[in-house]
Amino acid sequence: MRDILLIANNDWHGLWFQRQELARRFSGTGHRVWYVNRTPQRWPTLRSALERLHPPEGAHSGRKAVGAIHVVTPFWLPPTRWLRPLNRALVRRTLARLRLRDPVVITYVPTFNVIDVIDQVAPDLVAYVNVHNYDADVVLRDVLASERILARRSDVLLADSQYNVARLAALGGGRSVLLAEPGVDYEGFSRAFRGDELQRLRSLYYFGGVGPHLDLSLFAELSKSYDVTFCGAIARSVRKQIPPTVRIMPPVSNSELPVALKEADAICIFYKPSPYIDGVMPAKIYECLATRKPLLTSGLSNLESISGAFYDVRGDAQKAACIIASLPRTETPGVVSRRLSLARKADWSNRFGSLYSALDRALREKGRRGLAGAPRGYGGRKGGSSAAPCAKVAVIVVGYNEAAVLARCLDSVLLACREFSGCTGELVETLFVDSHSTDGSVRIATDKGIRVALAPREFHTCANGRMTGLLLTRSELVMFVDGDMEVDPQWLIHGTTFLRESPHACGVSGIRDDMRQMTGGFQLIRNYHGVRREVELVDRDVGGAFLLRRSAIEAAGGLEPDLAPEEDLFMCCQLWAMGGRLYRINKPMITHWDLKVSSPGRALRHLVWNRRATVPGVILRRALFHQHWAGVYLWSFKRDLILHGLWLASTAWLLAAQFCHTGTLLLPAAALAMVTLLYLPVLWQTKRDASRVWAALFLRTAYLLNMLVGFTTNRPKVRFGAQLESAYLEQIQRVAKDIPGPLRLDPGGQ
């Protein structure tokens, strides 16, 4: 599906507006959504700048995953022309983390910063939604100039009121502007109706932000005769203007608002008339109508579309009192029916459907793939169809010349799938992705009844096989397994149960045992990662096998086909930088069969002679200069290396300093021995074996040197982002056509 980049003029965790609802519904239709929190449109005050740098409790700082919606809080400067070169660099830094695919940009902000976003993203469609009369708002003068440019560059123009429709049409040179009014959760807000409102008529409610735009004097007059309640955040500038006769309720979430409004007998929206208010269509207007309660307004000249469903008091407290007194007569069935009819039509499902159709139509008119079209590079299996049942879990086995252990691996996968299907009744998808083996691996998988796909030859890596399997399956959860691993029969049950009970988790791993072939036979290494607690964060080695949410993998941009080793670690760092977390639970997951004779010498030769040994340095370089999560990579996953680097640095400093001072190595050797004795207990905590502790001293040193070489030389060259290129996706489509028939579902049926 296309990515949606929604640039909002309010924060995700602020008051609930059209932008959050659209983001939620786009996500619900399968799109990846990036919600960009508000960015400056004027010079900030010191207080607002400090609040932005140190958000209050519950606010987002940085990028967090909110379900399938990814919230971005960028650091951009005010959008003036003379700051634009610096802002371009800041915009580029923000976009580098997102890894957008086939994006559509929907913006509520008309600044030069947004125009720079559009220039760098190059989206297939740009939609500008105008919800402010910027001519009368307090913004930088450059915002007016940039809005004129954006109105002419956008493919779709929308506005939330008839006033803003006419204004935006003039800015766009007479182009057509669609009306995109606010909406309502009709079923939710209809629960606020009690039925005895007209018998009581004592409680008058206002909900939303309380600021200088409200006619507080009118509320104050009515509070002498009625119980007036404000439900919302109070601006500092008006706190002293609110009389003690007005009751103040703290703000509540949009889902809790109908309960808070249940005690209201009538709802009031009293604004001060002004040139800015002339263009305002309150976001709460249809929520008020859905409650079926009488609605009193003042100062709003833009409500022609709901005429006959409200009462305009025109700023007069006496008129308001007369209207309230006559409500038992004026609230006829026709008025109530009109109110409910407008609210039903404004339900968010209808509003979103209209917008979705408009954007889809605009894309097709440009000759581009529509929003609702099949995702580029996904699906397309021969014999498959969109109506086919979707599996809960896909188990993707990747391998190259693993014939010696592949049968054991596939048997364990089929057994785990049968256990899972028998326990939950859910479907399981299985696929073996082979990297063109020459030892009969394909025949072994075919004999087991598992479908086989051949990974594109361009990249000879595990990540290439995993990405191929990901693009050829469509389950909610994905389990990656290497061909030399044996899966525990109960693992899929344990892993899916944890993810169901932990919606915040992006993925889960378990206990890995290793069967290593030594010179004298196999040695079993239990609990390779040293899992001690029931649940713990994955902050060291990822391990190759993982049960992940598909939405999390796609949010991270998938796996890099040209990256090996540490391709899974790279993806995990992407998730960490986005606020996602991976967990390891104290349940058996796999047994890894390493058939190559293990020894410290072999490991050291691998670090010295392997041309891919310098890849961690390339990853660090990428993380530092492009992805901007070097801190995540080093601190979250390489803390041991940081400590080892400090040990090496102190060792080198002691040797150099003491030798230069005394001309002898006796004292430096003694100092080195003392530093090493302090470091060895730290190694013992992770290795728990004397031979492995001494081997780790040499292996980590070689690893750090390789990382330094890779960081400075950027070798070997890695083609980052290849999985998003059209050429790669076309290769996957050709692979899909070669799979004879649909992928196998529910192996428990054998």
Indicate if the alpha-carbon torsion angle 712, 718, 724, 726 is positive or negative: positive
Q: What pLDDT is stored for residue 663 in this prediction?
A: 55
Closest by Cα among 236, 123, 256, 137 to 185: 256
Contact between 252 and 205 (Cβ < 8 Å): no
Beta-sheet strands, E only, within 208-284: 227-231, 246-249, 266-270
Furthest-apart CA atoms within the chain: distance in Å: 106
Q: What pLDDT is stored for residue 556 in this prediction?
A: 77
Contact between 432 and 466 (Cβ < 8 Å): no
Q: Which residue has the tokens 């950027």?
A: 714
Q: From the first residue on, what is the mean pLDDT of each consecutive set of 10 residues in the chain (750 residues)? A: 90 86 88 90 68 45 53 89 89 86 92 92 92 86 90 93 92 90 92 92 93 93 94 89 92 87 95 90 94 94 89 94 94 92 92 91 85 43 40 89 90 92 86 91 90 89 91 90 92 91 86 76 72 79 82 82 84 76 89 67 55 78 73 66 76 68 58 65 63 71 82 86 82 77 45
Neighbours of 625 (CB within 10 A): 11
Separation between Cα atoms, residue 560 and residue 671, nearest integer Å: 44
Where would I find the H helices in 366-402? none
Token reading at 681: 């207990």
Beta-sheet strands, E only, within 402-545: 428-434, 452-454, 477-482, 485-487, 505-518, 521-525, 535-537
Give the helix/strand (H/E) hosting 739: none
Q: What pLDDT is stored for residue 692 in this prediction?
A: 67
Q: Report all structural domains of the chain as residue ranges with CATH numbers, in order of start.
A: 4-179 (3.40.50.2000), 186-346 (3.40.50.2000), 393-598+724-736 (3.90.550.10), 613-715 (no CATH)
- pLDDT tens track for 253-269: 888 899 999 999 999 99
Separation between Cα atoms, residue 615 and residue 562, nearest integer Å: 11
- pLDDT tens track for 198-212: 999 999 999 998 999
Residue 105 sits at φ, ψ, to 5 deg, of -100, 125
